[in-house]
């Protein structure tokens, strides 16, 4: 079981290469928003950056809130996503305690699936895909 972690965000330069990589590789689009990891400045550029990313909750409140089983709890934390089942109700977005799930204006839901596609594109090694017991 692998989890994406963002343990060294103090190194982040705000280049967004990670979230652009997620959008490009995982979701096949060019976007800041429609990605499983999103980088924000924490009160302007002078205050550094934070990563809005799934913390691999176990149990996962988003999966519990999902009425269709589109999001299913992974063993060991986090969720898997079946986009075909999603009715775009947004309950998962509301249930996420750390605002890590994005929903675009068409209603599509974007959540980190801990694949690690973003890790390769961080120039400062802020991100890590780590093996955890599960």
Partner 1 sequence: MISETFKILEVNLTTGQSGPRDRDGAALYLGGSGLAARLHLDLARPDLAWDDPTQPLIFAIGPLTGYFPLMSKTVCAFTSPVHGQYAESHAGGRGALAMRFAGYDALVITGRAERPVVLHLGENRIDIIEAGYLWGQDALASGKLLRRMLKGSGHRTIMRIGPAGENKSAMACVNVDTYRHFGRLGGGAVMGAKNLKAIAIEGEGARELPAGKSYAALFRDIFRQVTDTDMMRKYHNLGTAANLDALNDLKALPWRNLQATSDPGITGITGQRFADDTLLRNAACSGCPVGCIHIGFVREKFQADNQYFYRQVPYDYEPIFATGSMLGLTHAPDVLSVMDEIEKAGLDVMSGGVALAWATEALEKGVVTPEQVGLGLRFGQARGYMEAVHLLAAGKTEFWRLLAQGTMTAARHYGGEDFACVLGQEMAGYATGEVFYVAQSLGLRHSHLDTGAYSYDQSNAPKDVAKALAFLLEDERERVIQTSMVACLFARKVYGLDSLRACLNVLGGATLADGLEQAGGRIQKLRWRARLAGGFDPMRASIPKRFLEVTTWKGQTDPVYLENLRQAYATAIRDMGRADAEKA
Q: Does 99 engage in binding with partner 1 (CB under 8 A)?
A: no
Residue of 59, 84, 97, 105 that binds partner 1 (CB under 8 A): 105
**Interface with partner 1 (CB under 8 A), residue from 44, 59, 97, 133:** 44
Query: What span, in angstroms and rounded, lies between the C-alpha atoms of 52 and 58?
Result: 18
Which of 1, 2, 9, 24 is the binder for partner 1 (CB under 8 A)?
Answer: 24
Phi, psi dihedrals of residue 132, rounded to the nearest 5°: -125, 160
Q: b/e per residue, 16-39, with b = 16+ CB within 10 A? A: bbbbbbbbeebbeeebeebbbbbb
Peptide bond preceding 59 in cis form (omega within 30 of 0): yes
71 lines the binding site for partner 1 (CB under 8 A): no
84 contributes a contact to partner 1 by CB under 8 A = no
Stretch that binds partner 1, among 38-46, 65-73, 83-91, 125-133 (CB under 8 A): 38-46
Residue with Cβ nearer partner 1 (25 or 132): 25
């Amino acid at each position: 079981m692998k989890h994406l972690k963002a343990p060294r965000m103090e190194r982040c330069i705000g280049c967004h290469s990670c979230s652009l990589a997620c959008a490009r590789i995982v979701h096949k689009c060019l976007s800041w928003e429609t990605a499983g990891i999103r980088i924000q400045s924490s009160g302007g550029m002078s205050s550094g950056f934070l990563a809005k990313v799934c913390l691999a909750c176990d149990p996962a409140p988003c999966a519990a809130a999902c009425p269709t089983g589109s999001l299913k709890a992974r063993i060991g934390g986090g969720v898997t996503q079946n986009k075909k089942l999603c009715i775009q109700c947004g309950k998962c977005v509301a249930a996420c305690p750390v605002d890590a799930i994005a929903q675009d204006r068409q209603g599509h839901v974007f959540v980190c699936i801990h694949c690690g596609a973003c890790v390769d594109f961080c120039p400062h090694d802020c991100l890590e895909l780590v093996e955890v017991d599960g």
